[in-house]
Amino acid sequence: MRLAVTAAQAADGLYRARPIGARRLPDIFGYDILEALRRSGCSLCRVEAIDDRRWMDSFWREGKQDPGTRRRFYAAGGFCRHHAWLLHRLVAAEAAGAAIADVYGSLAERDIAWLDELRASLDRGKRRRRAPLRRGGRCPACVASAGDAERKVHFFVELLAEAEVRPHYQSSDGLCVAHFARALAHALDTDEEVARLLLDDWRERLAHVRDQLVEFDRKRDHRYADEPKGDAQGSWTEVIRRYVGERFPDDCD
Ligand SMILES: [Zn+2]
Ligand SMILES: [Zn+2]
């Protein structure tokens, strides 16, 4: 029942398996999410990183040949910084620089033509109103990733309606604030029971990290310097993770 994992994904460790007791999982399409619940950090951050990588992998292998995809790539002036470096990492891992030479070479050709045109119009004493190199389109990988992310949040809420999935969620690291807010908004519209579960769970996790921060602060006092440091030492990392989500190897720009 395992979905295929590319060598690049496996190498990145996003999918490194953790030994767990085998349970029957309710839906093969929830595989990514259920797998992410067993791993560290916000599971929706993790599945987004995996989806992002899959999209970019298929872009440089074959998607870039599609005329519509190329058009959107040029309209955006290439990828945003995050996605351009993601492309670079994937291509570098397979020594396949020709894929970047192909699309960015054509982009450079187009931009040179545009700059020449602008230069010529300046020489003719005309000024264009459009700002130089202003792009009309959004990064196509960001557009794809936003659509995927929305579907994953909806699917996550549906999965939480399954009694069988809840223990996986409760034993996981929970969600970051951005994913919690989106999941909660969808649950409030579709399933109040899941909304309650999400609220109670997140409140409890937040209260825990708040208590740990208080404890950390208390232990900084010289009067308690001899006490064992304990879990509170990690609290100032934990609170950042809780608020902004996990930082995965794929996401380290
Ligand atoms: Zn997240
Ligand atoms: Zn992007």
Q: How remote is the CA of residue 115 from the centroid of ligand 1, in Å? A: 41
Residues around the ion ligand 1 (C-beta < 5 A): 42, 44-45, 176, 179, 245
Q: How remote is the CA of residue 147 from the centroid of ligand 2, in Å? A: 12
Q: How remote is the CA of residue 79 from the centroid of ligand 2, in Å? A: 5
The 10s digit of each residue's pLDDT in 79-116 is 999 999 999 999 999 999 999 999 999 999 999 998 89
Q: Looking at 130-191, list the stretches that DSSP marks H as alpha helix, in order from N- to C-terminal side.
A: 140-160, 166-170, 177-190
Local structure of 86: helix, strand or coil = helix
Per-residue confidence (pLDDT) for residue 82, from 0 to 100: 94
CB 203 within 8 A of CB 73: no
Q: How remote is the CA of residue 245 from the centroid of ligand 2, in Å? A: 18
253: CB partners within 8 A, 6+ apart: 81, 82, 85
Structure tokens at 37: 């619940």
Per-residue confidence (pLDDT) for residue 1, from 0 to 100: 35
Q: How remote is the CA of residue 23 from the centroid of ligand 1, in Å? A: 25
Q: What is the pTM of this model?
A: 0.75
Q: How remote is the CA of residue 215 from the centroid of ligand 2, in Å? A: 40
Q: How remote is the CA of residue 44 from the centroid of ligand 1, in Å? A: 5
Q: Which ligand is nearest to the CA of 81?
A: 2
Q: How remote is the CA of residue 73 from the centroid of ligand 2, in Å? A: 10
Per-residue confidence (pLDDT) for residue 121, from 0 to 100: 86
Structure tokens at 115: 């700059």
Mean pLDDT by runs of 10 across the 253 residues of the chain is: 41 42 51 89 91 94 91 94 96 94 94 89 77 80 91 93 92 94 96 96 94 86 70 83 76 41
- Return the beta strands (E) in the chain as ranges: none
The 10s digit of each residue's pLDDT in 151-160 is 999 999 999 9
Per-residue confidence (pLDDT) for residue 247, from 0 to 100: 73
Per-residue confidence (pLDDT) for residue 29, from 0 to 100: 58
31 alpha carbon, distance to own chain's centre:
17
